[in-house]
Amino acid sequence: MLHSMSDSRAPEPMRQHGAGTPDGFRRLWTPHRMAYIKGEGKPEGPGADDGCPFCAIQAMADAEGLIVARGTLVYAVLNLYPYNSGHLMVCPFRHVADYTDLDEAETAELAAYTKTAMTVLRAVSGAQGFNIGMNMGGVAGAGIAAHLHQHVVPRWGGDTNFMPVIGQTKVLPQLLAETREVLAVAWKAAD
């Protein structure tokens, strides 16, 4: 796994900023989402200034926004609503909804970052497989359809078994911060 869970204290719930699209597995994660994502806003509209989290976190410090690596045209960020530990998203800096809207350079760097994400997750966590992909449009399951993002979800044999275990409300914010730190260091080494 990505880290040891040695902290048996029960820290107060804290709000973690970040970006993500709640979807299929949300009910598994409801317990800890409740603790710190109360009122977590989805965008009010399709524009970059309508509260798009993928735009907003670009202005944050990496640790605050859970950003793992920044490229020239794209960046990699931990999902605030992870399916699994280490669930990353690769997004263009530009507020673009559709994959066909990316120019060639953005397309190339998004692909390169997806590969690096796999390399890093294998190195750090021994990921045995991945689910990788994008949901284009709300009807396809995109929670934040206005700003495209490629999911990179590491998988392990039997990984659904530990999800309830790590799904403890008060631990997750620290878990995400620690995960981000580990991945960011490994990303520098892989880049």
Which residue ranges make up the site for Zn ion (CB under 5 A)?
48, 52, 54-55, 95, 147
Q: How far is CA 158 from CA 2, 45, 74, 118, in A?
A: 16, 39, 32, 19
Question: Is 95 marked active-site?
Answer: no
Minimum CB–partner distance for residue 43 and Zn ion (Å): 8
- Using the minimum distance from each CB to Zn ion, give the nearer residue, 19 or 121: 19
Could you give the angle at which helices 104-125 and 172-190 cross, rounded to 10 degrees? Answer: 110
Of 87, 95, 147, 149, which one is the catalytic site residue? 149
Q: Which two tokens stand for residue 36?
A: 């710190």
Which of 173, 110, 172 minimizes the C-alpha distance to 147?
110
* CB nearer Zn ion, residue 47 or residue 129: 47
CB-nearer residue toward Zn ion: 87 or 95? 95
Instruction: Tell me the C-alpha to C-alpha distance, in Å, between residue 188 and each of 7, 175, 180.
Output: 27, 20, 12
Active site residues: 149
